[in-house]
Amino acid sequence: MEGRRAELTYLAAAVPMRFVSGGAGVALALAAAIQLHDVGLGGALIAVLTAPSVVAAPLIGALLDATRSPRRTMLAASVVLAAVLVLCAFLAVVPLPVVFGALVVGGVVMPVFMGGLSAFVGEVLPGDAARGTAVDALAYNVAGIGGPGLVSVATVLLSPSGALIALAVVALAGGVVLQALPLVPRGGSLRPAALARGIGGATRHLLTHHPLTRSTTAGTIVQVGGGALPVVAVLLAVQRGAAESGGGWLLTGFAIGGVAGALAITAPAVTSWLGRHPARRIMAAGFTATGLFTLLAAVAPTFPLTLVALTLAGLPDAPGVAAMLRIRQEESPSEVRAQVFIVGAGLRSAAASIGAAIVGLVTHVDPAILLVVLALPWLAAAPILGRGALLPARRPTA
């Protein structure tokens, strides 16, 4: 019962805090389009919010590894991000340079809610590492649907400003609930020299510890396909006889598949089974299956069949992500774990942005061909993870 209570408390803290990552981009795009009638500005606002998280990831991770009170640090970060969202709610009134400056600050603290919180799963949910990372993956998947959903509902009922304020309230609520979690300090130092040494040590570990290097590389590359999927989904929906809004249904199907997969791996029997297998094999199998179902969606002749195939593609993606988080947990020393998680999350965010930017330049290409190309990063995961990742290595014969 205690374990179940800890999981529910973790989800109650993690999901609201991650709603911001899933919903802020949608809210900013809608605010720019409706308040200022400038769709292009929405893209710029999103870029300013997401770019700093990549650049600042090592320093934010080092600070989180060294802070004496991770809970207070995360609460302060939630307050800062909430203030940024409230300021952006008045986009039509606040000077744009101020908005851009605030978004830079928001982008710097956002990694705390993503990879940063994941770094403490081992302490918050002790025991079975496979189950802890499965619960964490569920939080990511639920927030991935819930964030845009909250923004959509709040925009209809209120306005884009109301949606941004609602996200701010949710972020604050998550920061408050997080105070109930047992986040144990790592015992590092906040002195600049110590932080620099910590960043150097974490960087060396990421680059030289092969299990971690391979899983980080594979997890980053699959996000190139994930980032491009929203653009291709719209094109694919039109090609298959649906309206452009059908692209949203295709994305929703993939996301629902992800949530279903995440829920499935939190079942005790499934968690126990997964725990008996190497994490890299589960990661390789999950991402390979996602790639194969994505290929199936590319050749599906109708929109309904395409929707079914992409929903099935989302199912194994969740176990793959959970296994990736488990590798980060198991293969990183506690003193640099937050950095490992935050840098990994930052790289995945950057890869998603690159994927979206690249596919935006080739929208004239047949959407089915684009979807085939999108499947390749997922299919590349197993080779990147190394020999024996997908199937057990053959024993040498005498």
pLDDT, tens digit, 9 for 90 and up, residues 48-100: 887 777 778 788 888 888 888 888 999 999 999 999 999 999 988 999 999 99
1's CB contacts (< 8 A; 6+ apart) are: none
Residue 1: per-residue pLDDT? 38
- pLDDT band at residue 391 using 50, 70 and 90 as cut-offs: low
> pTM value?
0.78
What percent of the chain has a predicted confidence (pLDDT) above 90? 27
- The pLDDT value given to residue 63: 83
The whole-number pLDDT of residue 40 equals: 67
Give me the amino acid identity at 221.
Answer: I
What is the C-alpha to C-alpha distance for residues 275 and 283, in angstroms, rounded to an integer? 12
Give pLDDT, residue 221. 93
Question: Does residue 369 carry a pLDDT above 70?
Answer: yes
Q: Which residue has the higher pLDDT, 106 or 274?
A: 106
pLDDT of residue 7: 84
Q: In whole numbers, what is the pLDDT of the chain averaged over residues?
A: 84
Per-residue pLDDT at 26 exceeds 70: yes
Question: Cα-flanking dihedrals φ and ψ of residue 99, to 5°?
Answer: -60, -45
Q: pLDDT, tens digit, for every residue of 167-211?
A: 999 999 999 998 988 887 776 667 777 777 777 877 888 888 888
Confidence of residue 396 (pLDDT cuts 50, 70, 90): very low
* Contacts for 160 with CB less than 8 Å, ≥ 6 apart: 27, 30, 31, 34, 35, 89, 91
Residue 282's closest CA among 274, 271, 292?
274
Give tens-digit pLDDT for 289-346: 999 999 999 999 999 999 999 999 999 998 998 899 889 888 888 778 888 888 888 8
Instruction: Band the pLDDT of 269: cuts 50, 70, 90.
Output: confident
What is the reported pLDDT for 305? 95
Answer whether residue 398 shows pLDDT above 50.
Answer: no
> What's the confidence (pLDDT) of residue 352?
79
